[in-house]
Every structure is written in structure tokens, then in C-alpha cells.
Structure 1
Amino acid sequence: MRLSIGLLIATLAAGTQNSPPAGSGEILAQLSNIHLDKKQTYNIRDITLRRDALSIALNRGTIAFLEPIMGKVTGAVFIGSGEVVAIPPDAVEKQQVFKFTGSPVLNEPFQAAFFRFTDGTYEEIMKEYAQHAAEDVSEEEAAQFLPWEQIVRDRSDVMKYRILADFLEPSSEPLFLSDLRGEKTGWFEVLYDPRLVEEVAIVKFHDSGLGSVADLWASFNRRSEVRNPEAVAHENKSAIDVLSYDIDATISDVQLDAQATMRLKAVRAGARVLSFDISRFLRVSSVTLDSGDPVPFYQHDENTLTIILQSATEPGQEITLRLSYSGEAIAKRGSSMFYVGDRGPWYPSPGNQDGATFNLTFHYPAAYTLVATGSELREWDEAGRRHSTWKSDGEFPIAGFNLGDFKIVADEAPPLPIYVCVNSDVGAENLLKDLRATINYFSSLFGPYPYSRLTVSPFPLSYPQTWPALVGLQSESQFLVTELARTHELAHQWFGNKVGWSSYRDQWIAEGFAHYAGAMYVENKYPDTTRFREILDEARARLLEQGADGSIWLGHRLASTVTPDGYTQTLPNKGTWVVHMLRMLMREDGAPNPDAAFLKMVREFLETYRGKLASTWDLKRIAEKYMTRSMDVREDKKLDWFFDEWVFGTGIPTYTLDYQVMPAQSGFVVQGTIKQSEVANHFIMSVPVYADDDFLGRVVIGDEDGTFRFNVKTRPARVVLDPKGTVLAKAVN
């Protein structure tokens, strides 16, 4: 599990059913009922708190500390004049801060601040305070804090489990959080937490009416790591690794009642506070060890379950937890289709892509059919209900199921049985043939299909859902006719399931390759049509219409209150073009297989990281092994330039061609200049030049205009740039 900021933003707790271990209950009680300490109110000035890239200046004002918890002060309220400065370490994060604040650097005055911390903030402030002449706090200054009593109580649950972890676990990774009321931005938070993979964050919450929506203005590694992002691309700060799930679930209409057994392995020493995601519609009723001893747990309204171990973990120690939970977590479409959908995980999940084995048993109405991830071991009817058991083929990153009033049509020909859930037989045989053809084509490109079976089921939402060996598409009628949607989701069996992504920043690999694989299927099936070109043109049009939402390296952060469609519009479309350009740069026209180098690169990537989590740097490193001469534009045998411009960058250039054709002794000379605009001066790309239908060569355009001189035997009617559309550009003139 790669810890993210989402695991830390816990809201109101629902209470516990088991007695907590000694110490944690008292600590939680105090954290839940915290007050300002009337004895600890001071007038302060000229104090600056520095936490890595964050600098918070308390210029002049009054500070009131919170009452100590077990003798330790964990927070304060400041009212007065202050200023926060944060300089993001790279262009990607600077662009995001600019998107939300209008400046690439955060430099915001504030009038009030609410601090939570477990580090030495209290001692640091008091040390600075002692070096100035004391100023008495007036009654008027003290009265400023009266409204804050209620605010502090209302916010007492925020971060309390994160603070509890620092009380219970011996660690040198204390928390610092400041909620600031900026003059221009309103309330926002700055965070430094060494327990996070990206330790520094700036975030603003918005009340959507249905809960809080977070805009992550910036998130990045601490200074000691930020200079070498490749070195921390696989950083894992998880306390535990989930090895296996055994889940027994009963489904009755929208009600789910389940017992889950999780087998965990401790990754680091000293952990006691574990966090899991689970649907807010499910309520956990008990958590026990394998011995039957109860384990304290707390459940929040926002899909979070916190479990507190009785004793600290030791590295390599295996722990078995048994959970019982139930609730109306199943959504229903019409009278006969049931799904989990966007209601959150239906089992306790560490919230990551790391894999575990799954053994699933379901009990459901006998009138319905259930399909799930993995292989079906058995199905039977008993006591008026239907039952089935499913087992994963090795470790899966996620498990899911669909239930409905449909029948299964099968093509069980070896080596891969394919099952389709349909409401009628109309079109079913053609669909099976198309699925078989798609799997065969992808297997020829990317290697064998990674699982022992494939099931395709209707999914009643506006977006598809893909699990290992199970693909849910929007509706039966749509996936019968929409080849690109179907093939994209099937490609996720390789890109996203066979190989996962190391962090949210690397999800573009799965989306980009899956979407482009679907486009390649269309290209192969309809070789003499414009359908492949239309897919790329539509992707480019959507990117230009959406604008520069941000780098695809931002993953889900592309979606925000400023750019709500940023993720869905940018990630698959830009990712498709990135993969297309890599393919075209590696392509050797005229060879028996022009795409041999590209396909070898893809297969090596998939085999190297089979069952693992891959990063952008991993893909870059393998792609560099298959570079052509024209790709080495910096003459360093590296693809830094390509990834800097197309993965980390947001620019889309315009190219303008100026040329002339002159007679020469053995034919003609074509010479000219290519100008690049609407991107930064350092933007670099290799662009193909053609005379009529004949390829002349590639020209590198970067800091300077690209110039060229080619000899041809006959006078061309025209000279053009990139007529086959191999480069993502706004326009080619």
C-alpha cells in the first residue's frame, strides 16, 4: 500500500464496538473532546515555522494552544498577521499552483490559522516567544478565541487517528498541518507528513453539498528526495501488505452481508494503527484476530476504517483479521441488475494497486446469475438460493462481481474460455467471435492473455468497470457496436491488471496503452479506412478543446473544481498520443514488420513488470533500449526530452513550413525551415518531412528553427510536414 493524502483526511467517527487497548481509548477520548487551553495564550511576533518546502511566518498576533494530550500539546489557533510561502520543486507542481491561485509560487498572507502537530512546534514557538519581551494578552485579544472553542470541537475528529498513530507507534515521522485563512484564497491547508509517500501537500476543501471535495494544489516529495524522482518512484511507506482475502458474501436485493478474513504481513516494525477503505454504506460490526480476540476499530463516514492492533508489529509478522460487515452497498438498476459501482469498496481495501489472492463465496437469489473475478470453482442451488465460489489466478489488484437477470453464452474453446452475460441470444454469437478475435490480436501483440478465463458483463453506468478476468461495459447494446470502448477495456487485462501502476502519477500508462491498443485493433481490422486516423483526430480535438489541464503525470488530480473533466478528457487522449508517437518514432517503414521494435519494447515492459507495479521511469528505461537513431535528438541515448515534453509537459506545438525546390546537378534540392510556436523555447521534437508521398527524413526542432536540405531525383509537386499524423500538433502549415 502506497499511503496517500486521502487516507489522512478522515472526518467524523461513528464510534467503536470493541474496547480499545490500554492507552488508545484515553488518548482518543481526549482527542475527540479537545479545547483551547486558557492558560496558554500568548502575544507573539516574528516567528517563522519551516517545514521542508513550507515556510509559515507568524508576523504578529495572538496564539492559543490546545489542551495537552497525555502531557503533549498537539495544536494551536493563531489570530493575527501571517504569511505562508511554498515553492513547488518542479514545473508540473508550479503549473498546478498557478491553476488554482494565479501564481506558480504560493505566497499568501493569512489572518488566522489552526495548527495540528505531533512534532516540536509547541516547543519551537515557546522558545522563540521567550526571546522577546512578553506582552500581556488583553481581554479583547483573549475574547477573539471564544468562537474558536466550537470550531475546535467541531474539528476535533479531523486527523485524530493520524495523531493517535504518533502516540501509539514509536516513530520519528511526526505530523505538521496548518489550516490557513488566506486573504485571497480563503481557507486551505498545508501539510508536511513524513508518513506520506509525497510528504508535502497543499490542499483546499470545498463543500459540495454531498460532502467535501478536495483540490490538491500541490503534492511532492521532501527536498531530500525531490531531486531524484526516479529513486522514489517505487517508495512504499505502508505498514502492512495484504496477502489474501477470503470473503463470504450474501446478497439480498441491495443488502450485502459479508465476513472477510484478511491475512496480512507486517512490512515495518512498530505499526498499530491500520487504515482501510470500505464503502460508507457498509457498517463493520466486529473485527477479531484469528484467535477470536476482539480488535478495536473505528469507522468514518467517508469510506475509511481504522483498526488498532493490540501490540506493535514486527517485520515479516503475519496477522489474520476477521471482519463482519453489512449494509445497503449494492446499487440496483431496474428490477434485475445489481452492482457495487461507485459506492466504494465492498471489502476492506488498503487503497492501492498491490495484489492479493482472493477466495470468494457468494449467496444470492436463485433467479439471478452472478459473475466475478477469477475462475468459478463451483455453482449450486441450495435452500432456495444460489451459491458460487470463485478463486483468483494468483494475485489480483482488485476483485469485483456483477449480478443480474441474464444468461451466459460461452465459447469454451481452448486455450481461453470466454463467457458473455446477455439478456437474449440476439447478437451473442457475433459478440463472442469479436471478443475471441480481439483477444487473439492482443495476444499476438502483447503476449498471452494473463488469466484463465474472460467474462464480459453489462455494467449499467456511463463508464465501464474492469477487473482481472471480468469486464463490465455500459450496456449490452453499446458494447455490441462500440468496438473502441470494448477493446480498450479488454486491453486493461494487460495494461492495468497484468501490470499495475506504481502511483497515481503512473496511471496514464494503463489508460494510454489500453486506449491505443483499442485503436490498433481498429486499424488492423479496417486497414483501408480512415477509422484509426479518426480516433487520433478525435483525441487531439478533445485535448485542444479541454486546454492545458496539467501534465498526464498528475493522474486523478487532473479532475478538480477548476477542471472537472480534466481526468476523463486528458489522461486517455494525451496518453494515446504519447504511445502513438513512441510507436511512430520506433517505426521502420519498409521492413517486414515496421512495428517490430515498438512491439518488442511493449512485450518486454509487460513481462518485466508482470504482477508488479510499474512507474513512468520504468517505461522510459525500457523504451530507451529500443531507441532509433532519429530518437536520440540530444545524442545521449536518453528519452528525457520525449518524456519531459509529452508526459511531464503540457505543450502542444504548431509547425509552419517554409521551403524551396532548386535544380541540382543530379536532380533537385529541397531545402527549408520549420518554425515551432505556442510552446516553450526548450520544447524539442523530431518531425518527418515528405516530398509528395516520399519520406525525406526527420528534422529536429528545438531551441532553434529546424533547417533541412534534401536531394531528390524529381521535382516534387509539394513538400509537407507529417502527412501521416505522427506528431501531436495544433496545426501543421
Structure 2
Amino acid sequence: MKQRMVMGYFCPCCFLFFILSGWVSGSDLERSERLRAEDAIKEYDHLLQYKFSKEPLSVPPAGITLTRDSATWILESGEIRLMEPTSQGVITGLLFKGRGRFRMAIPDPIEIKQLQRYTDDPALTELDEQFSELILRTSGDFVPTLVSPGPKDTYTTNKYARKHHEHWLKDVFYDVNARIISGLLNHDHEFLCVDMNTESYDWLRYDFENQRLEEIQLKKLQSRFNYKEIWVSLDRVEDRQADGRPSAVCRDPIDITHVEFLIDLTHRSKERYRERLRKIAVNGKFKAKITFNPLIPGQQALNLELHPRAKINSVVTGEGVELVFIRDQIGKRFQSLKKETYDSSMVVIFNEPLTSEPTQIEFDYELDIFGYVSGRLWYPGLLTGLNDVHTAKLTVTLPAKQDIRSVGICEQEQITKKLKKSIWNIDFPTKMIGFTCGKGFREEKVKLEGVPEVISFGEARGFTLGDTVKKVAEDVARSIEFYQQFFNMNLPMKTIYATKIFGWHGQSFHGFIYLSELTFKREHPGATELFRAHEAAHQFWGHVVGWKTYRDMWLSESFAEYSAMMFIEHSMAADNFFEEILAVYSNEILGSIKSAMSKFARPWNIQMHPRERRSIGPVGLGYRASSALVPQGTFIQTYHKGPLVLHMLRVLLRNKFGTDETFRNILADFLRTYKDKDVTTAEFITIVEKHTAMEWQWFFDQWVFDTAIPTYHWNYIIREPSPDQSDYELQIKVIQSEVPPDFKMEVPLRVTYKQGQEEKFILRINATAEDWNLTLPQKPKKVTLNPDYAVLAKVIKDSAINFTP
């Protein structure tokens, strides 16, 4: 069996330009002969020894300067040890100890603010740091242009370098050596990784990898939770926009077109799962034959991703030729991990470079499951995300007493005394595939006029008030009926499955919805409907329109959540659940425990300390909104703040145009315009401006791309009418703080009179302190600033605010 399981881990190209007292030309950096496939495993084993020169070399008096894009490293004085060359003579690393300086300009203003959040330094606009140690690894062969190796160097294992890289491998599945092998095999795969022990921030890592969506990243592996923070992420200079922002250009190495599965679910797992004692895990036997079109001819190594608990038995070509692959079984080498844990990424090595012709490879692997497969990681795919659509066919064998449901159409089912074979065809392009199975499951169907038939597949256990299997189908059908009417768009499929999974989350595939076992156990009025409606909304937000990059993820999750909230507002208006959800989400974002006892609350999201709240990134950074201080930051921003941003937009539009019709038309047009496409936030802004004939970039800059939340200290006084007048005067003062000087917002003011009548005013706040004098026909009973959570803000009635007579 040709494989490496260390027993091995989770477009035109540009050249690396370096400086050694001047520029080094691209021609000087050409690699020598390509690494042969049969030598790749030997080279990988060689790199794992981490052998560096025994005798150090001194940095020359003039120093050494290395530049990549906007980053520069200057080795001023000290010692260098070079890594032992590969069989081709490529030096893939060096160690430095001494005095050096790292400078990095950051052209993207959003990334500057992200750096300020992570460093807790609001004045920081670029990095200029001293460092005392540096570890450089690369797939290029430029190291000899920086310093020449000694004529009689001897090499020995450097435990310090090995420990440093294995820390990243064990904690965040980042295998530097596998990436270097890929770079040695693929001349188009450029990889550079520089770790620095800096004066202010301890160890930082800069890396450049051209197979990533955004090639340049500056990272820190925090000791708290061993959490990887991406402090800065940039496009390379060739791709980024004029303002420094990324271009969202993705250069996938392949295009997966079809996956054919043979799945055997008849074997129990040999491992005990303590967290699921009442459920029996199945050791799934998977064969996944992947058909793809190479997009970069000449590749010899393919970087793919697979679940870290999946054990790969073999990888073969469509013709049955066995292929070498590199994937580190890190659980075998680190006692803190389960033995069955592998790196979630792998490098599959072909015997000959790929052409542009369609290619097939088949993976034979095992993965323990609990009656369902989750997400996209359960079968091999690209490292770059979820935008590679493909068709599929599943042939699943399972015990005869179990039933199975999958994305797609069941074409055939064969049942014997002990076994059942179920064949499912997915003949439409999809980003991911899912299935669920179980014993004792049943179906409940609900058909509403004009709505796809909703089939609930599952079982009801535990304390229930009625038939939750039927109630699941009803809620999903009713929410889709509301969405179709609100968005003026009918879904194309004839049926939608809503299936139970033995998990505590939900996920939505094309015409197929996972729902937590908890929602099949009991009803929590309002919260239960919200959860089910959220996953149903993904049939629109996620499948009718997708999202382009991780920065646009809120266009799926936040839009689905707010759509579900509007469904609750529409269908359960008498219960005031919509207002309660707004209150809960607002309070949790502001660090308040006022709503902690609500059924919609998640008290663990409340960050009481201001520094923790400051570390959370903006909605428009997707998974990078999290930090080591607040690992759930992405959830807070995407599922709570994102919906509130849409609510604020809705209120602003309602105040301008008198109804919700403009907001409704914007969402409908967005779906219609970008149907079956992956979209960006900029494209949504374009639709908003189209329907309003107004400029809205300021709003999204404040609420999606930044994290500032205003505090409004306010007070008012009522002046009695003069003898010759009948009107009252309402004098209001608002002091705005905790936001940049140019922050602006329209904040409603509601005046309630004794007989219950209400009058609304709009206060345009765009300065630190604002005053208004309003004329009222009668004396107000109550005055409320920012009613109904129209603006996400901390509102404080402050009696210390003085008014001039």
C-alpha cells in the first residue's frame, strides 16, 4: 500500500520576490527538476526529521533583507542554521537567532481594525516589531540567495524546530511539511511560512499560500484554548482591489463534477462513545469515486480535505492504479489526541502530471457515524470551501429494519431478510450531500397549496405534547409558505424532507433539512418554531443564492435567522416573541444579562468584560469574528448581530418610505437577480441602492464591516405652553459615545400621550452631542428613545444632562 500516514494532515502563478541587498530576479528562483512521485514519501519522511546544520552561519555585517508583498524581514545580526537540502538540493528552511525586525504594511482598512482588535491597540496601523528568533519554511529554492551553506555542513535533528511545528500540527491541523511537498511537486503551488518570536506579541506566523482564497495571513496560536487567531488576511498584490480589499477571486485547482458513493452501514463501531451511550455508532465503510476536471494542467499533487476521524485505506485512480498520499495520523504521535485522529488535510500524489482531461480517483475509507453525516467534510473535497457544485449517486447498504433518506431521489430499494440496499440519485448541481437513517423512524407529510410537500422523517421520544414529527412538517411547510409569499418566489423542488439527526444542530441541504433530535422531543413555543424556520429559510438563503467567501457568510446565516424572526412575527404576533428575540439578541451583544432567562437566550454568549467584547470581529469577517477570548464570536455576530443589522435596515427603510414594501422588494429582487449564484455583500448593497436611489455604503461600513456600537446618554424636559400658545415644547439632548466621530444613525423617538395616541420623530444623530426642540399638541405621558430596538445601541436615561433655560 503506497501511502504515508505517520502513522502523514488537516490561474497563473506569481513569483516570490526577495531582496538580498537588491532584488532577486524571477529567473534566479526557477526550481530544478520536478520531484518525482515515488520519491515524495521519502522526502516527507526526511522533512519530518527536522535536520538543520550543526554549525551556525553568521549574519553578514550588512544584514539580510527578505521581502514578500507588504512584509519585510531584516536579519540584523545573529546566527543562521540551514535545513538539510532535499534530494534535489532544495533548502526548505532556516533557523535564525539574534536580532531582527519585521515590518508589515496593511493596505486593507478593515484588516487594520482587525489587527487593532486582536492586539487591543486602537492606534496600531502597521507592524514594526523586533524579533529574536525566526523559523522559515518554504517550497521555493531561494534560501541560497539569502545565505550560502557551508562546504562541509553536517546536519542534526533540531528538537526546537520540530516541537514548534508539531504544536501547529497537533492543535490546528496545519502540516507545513505536507505543503512543502505539494509545492515541490506542483510548480504552481507557492508556500512560505515564517514564524517569529516578537518583542511585543511572542510568536507570530506569517504565511503565503497561493492555493488559498486570500494568500497572505498573519496568525497567532494563542495558548488559551490553543486558538488560532488570523490577525490579518490579504489578497496578494496582483489580486487586491485599489482600496486594499480582497477581490474574492478563487483559483481552485480542480472542479469536482460528480461523486459516486458505495456506503456500507452494517458494521458497529469498535469504539465506545461516552457522550452517546444510548446510541450505537456505526463504522461506515465508504468508497467515494470523485470525477473532476483539472483547472491547472501540470499538477502532480492534489490538496484535499476529509474528516479527521476518517481512516483512509487506499486511494486509486479510475483505472485502479494505487496512488501515494500524505496524511499524518497525529493521534498516534500525541497522547492528548485520540489515536484515530488524522490530519484533516491530505496530499494525493499522481504518478504523472495531470492534463486538462477529466480525471477520476477513488477513496476507500472508514468513518464512525451516528445515523447521519454532517456538513461537507465526510467525503473528500477541496480545502477552499463550499462553492464547488457537483452531482452524485449514493448506493447505501444498511440493516433491513432501518430506513434511510437522502438528498436527491430514491431510484431503487432492494430488501432481503437482513439487509436493505438503497440507491439515491442527485442529478442537480449541489454544494454538499447529506443523508440520515434510523430504526423506528416514520414519515409525516404536509402539503400546502403552492408549497413543496414537506415530509418529516424521524421519531418522537421523551416528554412531548402531541406528535412532534407531524408538528415539524407543519412548521417547515408554514414557514416556507410565508417565505414564498414574502419573497415572491416559489421553490423549484416538489418535496422537502425535514429529518431528525442524533445531534444538537441543524443543517439545510437542497430540498433536505437536518433538525436536531431535541426538536423532536418537546416543544418550546416560539424558540422551536424559530429553529425549524431558520433551517427552512436556508432553502432560499444558501441554496437559491449562495455566498461567495467567508466574508459573505452572513448573507446566508443572518438572512435565514431574520427571515425566521419575521415568520415568528407574522405567525405568532400575539405572543410578542419577535420583540423578545430582538431584546435577547441586543442584550447579549451589549453584554447585559437582562434577558438571560428567556427561552431565546444563550447566556454563554454574554461577554461582561469590555475587552472581551472588543476582541470580537465584525459581521463581515465570518469565522474570523471569533477570538481566543470569545471563541463563539462568530456565532454572536452571524446569528445575532447580523439579523439585527437587517432589522435596522428594515426600520430605516420603513421610516423613509412609510411601509415594509421597499425592504421586501429588496430581498425579493436580491433572490431573483442572483438566483443560482454565489453573492457578495457588495452585490447586496447594489440592490439596496437600486431600490432606494440612495447611497448606503456608510450603513454597511458601520454595521457589517466594523464593530462600533453607540451609547446614547439622553434626557429631556417638557416646557409648558406660554399664555398665548397651546403647544408644549419637548427639549431633548443626546450624547453619543463609544463610536468614531463620523458615526451616524437615525434614531426613532416615540411620544405617548395620555389617551394612548403615539407620535414618532426621527432624530438624526451624527455628532457627539445633539439637541432638538419639538412641538407637541399636548403634554406627553411617556417619551422613549430608540423604541422596539430600532438601533442596536446602549440607551441610558441620564438625569445629569443639563438643559439651558
Residue 152 of structure 1: CA displacement?
A: 4.8
Residue 719 of structure 1: CA displacement?
A: 4.2
**Aligned counterpart, 2:314:** 286
User: Is the 2:409–2:426 Cα contact (8 Å) retained in structure 1?
Assistant: yes
Following the alignment from structure 1 to structure 2, what is the Cα–Cα distance between the partners of residues 438 and 673? 43
Are 1:458 and 2:515 an aligned pair?
A: no
Following the alignment from structure 2 to structure 1, what is the Cα–Cα distance between the partners of residues 184 and 627? 34
Following the alignment from structure 1 to structure 2, what is the Cα–Cα distance between the partners of residues 648 and 556? 13
- Choose the corresponding residue for 2:134, options 110, 113, 136: 113
- Choose the corresponding residue for 1:346, options 351, 370, 378: 378
Residue 681 of structure 1: CA displacement?
A: 1.3
Kindly report which structure 2 residues correspond to 1:440-519, keeping only aligned pairs within 5 A, or say none. Answer: 440-446=481-487, 447-475=489-517, 476-478=519-521, 480-481=523-524, 482-519=528-565
Residue 665 of structure 1: CA displacement?
A: 7.2
Are 1:163 and 2:153 an aligned pair?
A: no
- Choose the corresponding residue for 2:709, options 625, 641, 652: 652
Q: Secondary structure at the match of 1:511?
A: helix
**Aligned counterpart, 1:33:** 46
Amino acid at match of 1:491: A
Alpha carbons of structure 1 residues 147 and 95: separation in structure 2 relative to 1, 3 Å: farther
Alpha carbons of structure 1 residues 13 and 274: separation in structure 2 relative to 1, 3 Å: farther
**Aligned counterpart, 2:362:** 323
User: Is the 1:32–1:160 Cα contact (8 Å) retained in structure 2?
Assistant: no
- Choose the corresponding residue for 2:265, options 251, 256, 259: 251
User: Is the 1:282–1:325 Cα contact (8 Å) retained in structure 2?
Assistant: no
Are 1:395 and 2:429 an aligned pair?
A: yes
**Aligned counterpart, 1:609:** 674
Alpha carbons of structure 1 residues 38 and 580: separation in structure 2 relative to 1, 3 Å: same
Alpha carbons of structure 1 residues 512 and 153: separation in structure 2 relative to 1, 3 Å: closer
Gaps in structure 2 of 5+ consecutive residues = 10-33, 170-174, 269-281, 329-341, 461-465, 592-606, 608-612, 798-805
User: Is the 1:85–1:107 Cα contact (8 Å) retained in structure 2?
Assistant: yes
Following the alignment from structure 1 to structure 2, what is the Cα–Cα distance between the partners of residues 51 and 320? 35
Kindly report which structure 2 residues correspond to 1:573-588, keeping only aligned pairs within 5 A, or say none. Answer: 573-587=640-654
Are 1:238 and 2:259 an aligned pair?
A: no
Are 1:431 and 2:472 an aligned pair?
A: yes
Following the alignment from structure 1 to structure 2, what is the Cα–Cα distance between the partners of residues 312 and 232? 31
**Aligned counterpart, 1:196:** 212
Alpha carbons of structure 1 residues 271 and 697: separation in structure 2 relative to 1, 3 Å: farther
User: Is the 1:393–1:452 Cα contact (8 Å) retained in structure 2?
Assistant: no
Following the alignment from structure 1 to structure 2, what is the Cα–Cα distance between the partners of residues 111 and 586? 55
Following the alignment from structure 1 to structure 2, what is the Cα–Cα distance between the partners of residues 590 and 72? 66
**Aligned counterpart, 2:742:** 682
Q: Secondary structure at the match of 1:275?
A: strand
Following the alignment from structure 1 to structure 2, what is the Cα–Cα distance between the partners of residues 620 and 599? 15
User: Is the 1:233–1:615 Cα contact (8 Å) retained in structure 2?
Assistant: no
Following the alignment from structure 1 to structure 2, what is the Cα–Cα distance between the partners of residues 119 and 81? 24
User: Is the 2:468–2:520 Cα contact (8 Å) retained in structure 1?
Assistant: no
Alignment deviations for residues 8-58 of structure 1 (CA, whole Å, 9 cap, x no partner): xxx975569xxxx97133255234314324588333353232222322221
Alignment deviations for residues 541-598 of structure 1 (CA, whole Å, 9 cap, x no partner): 111123231111221123333212212223210111011111112226996xx22211
Following the alignment from structure 2 to structure 1, what is the Cα–Cα distance between the partners of residues 401 and 412? 17
Amino acid at match of 1:602: L
Alpha carbons of structure 1 residues 498 and 230: separation in structure 2 relative to 1, 3 Å: farther
Q: Secondary structure at the match of 2:303?
A: strand
**Aligned counterpart, 1:8:** none
Following the alignment from structure 2 to structure 1, what is the Cα–Cα distance between the partners of residues 346 and 210? 21
**TM-score, length basis structure 1:** 0.85
Following the alignment from structure 1 to structure 2, what is the Cα–Cα distance between the partners of residues 183 and 239? 38
User: Is the 2:314–2:365 Cα contact (8 Å) retained in structure 1?
Assistant: no
Kindly report which structure 2 residues correspond to 1:719-730, keeping only aligned pairs within 5 A, or say none. Answer: 719-730=783-794
Q: Secondary structure at the match of 2:788?
A: coil
Are 1:53 and 2:39 an aligned pair?
A: no
Residue 387 of structure 1: CA displacement?
A: 1.9
Between 228-237 and 443-452, report the one with greater CA deviation: 228-237
User: Is the 1:259–1:322 Cα contact (8 Å) retained in structure 2?
Assistant: no
Are 1:420 and 2:436 an aligned pair?
A: no
Kindly report which structure 2 residues correspond to 1:686-705, keeping only aligned pairs within 5 A, or say none. Answer: 686-692=746-752, 694-703=758-767, 705=769
Residue 307 of structure 1: CA displacement?
A: 1.8
Following the alignment from structure 2 to structure 1, what is the Cα–Cα distance between the partners of residues 236 and 114? 17
Amino acid at match of 2:709: I
Following the alignment from structure 1 to structure 2, what is the Cα–Cα distance between the partners of residues 324 and 165? 19
Following the alignment from structure 2 to structure 1, what is the Cα–Cα distance between the partners of residues 353 and 689? 44
Following the alignment from structure 2 to structure 1, what is the Cα–Cα distance between the partners of residues 455 and 564? 20
**TM-score, length basis structure 2:** 0.78
Alpha carbons of structure 1 residues 326 and 584: separation in structure 2 relative to 1, 3 Å: same
- Choose the corresponding residue for 1:24, options 37, 45, 56: 37
Amino acid at match of 1:563: V
Residue 348 of structure 1: CA displacement?
A: 0.8
User: Is the 1:506–1:555 Cα contact (8 Å) retained in structure 2?
Assistant: yes
**Aligned counterpart, 1:7:** none
Q: Secondary structure at the match of 1:330?
A: strand
Following the alignment from structure 1 to structure 2, what is the Cα–Cα distance between the partners of residues 509 and 348? 26
User: Is the 1:244–1:357 Cα contact (8 Å) retained in structure 2?
Assistant: yes
**Aligned counterpart, 1:633:** none
Following the alignment from structure 2 to structure 1, what is the Cα–Cα distance between the partners of residues 522 and 538? 16
Following the alignment from structure 2 to structure 1, what is the Cα–Cα distance between the partners of residues 775 and 624? 49
- Choose the corresponding residue for 2:416, options 366, 372, 382: 382
User: Is the 2:193–2:208 Cα contact (8 Å) retained in structure 1?
Assistant: yes
Following the alignment from structure 1 to structure 2, what is the Cα–Cα distance between the partners of residues 92 and 116? 29
Are 1:539 and 2:585 an aligned pair?
A: yes
The CA RMSD measured in Å over matched residues stands at: 3.4
User: Is the 1:696–1:710 Cα contact (8 Å) retained in structure 2?
Assistant: no
Amino acid at match of 2:137: R
Following the alignment from structure 2 to structure 1, what is the Cα–Cα distance between the partners of residues 437 and 469? 19
Between 414-423 and 489-498, report the one with greater CA deviation: 414-423
Residue 277 of structure 1: CA displacement?
A: 1.3
Following the alignment from structure 2 to structure 1, what is the Cα–Cα distance between the partners of residues 182 and 372? 35
Amino acid at match of 2:457: C
- Choose the corresponding residue for 1:66, options 76, 83, 108: 83
Alpha carbons of structure 1 residues 154 and 699: separation in structure 2 relative to 1, 3 Å: closer
Residue 369 of structure 1: CA displacement?
A: 1.7
Following the alignment from structure 2 to structure 1, what is the Cα–Cα distance between the partners of residues 650 and 399? 49
User: Is the 2:468–2:521 Cα contact (8 Å) retained in structure 1?
Assistant: no
Residue 706 of structure 1: CA displacement?
A: 4.2
Kindly report which structure 2 residues correspond to 1:586-601, keeping only aligned pairs within 5 A, or say none. Answer: 586-587=653-654, 594-601=659-666
Amino acid at match of 1:260: A
Q: Secondary structure at the match of 2:647?
A: helix
User: Is the 2:108–2:234 Cα contact (8 Å) retained in structure 1?
Assistant: no
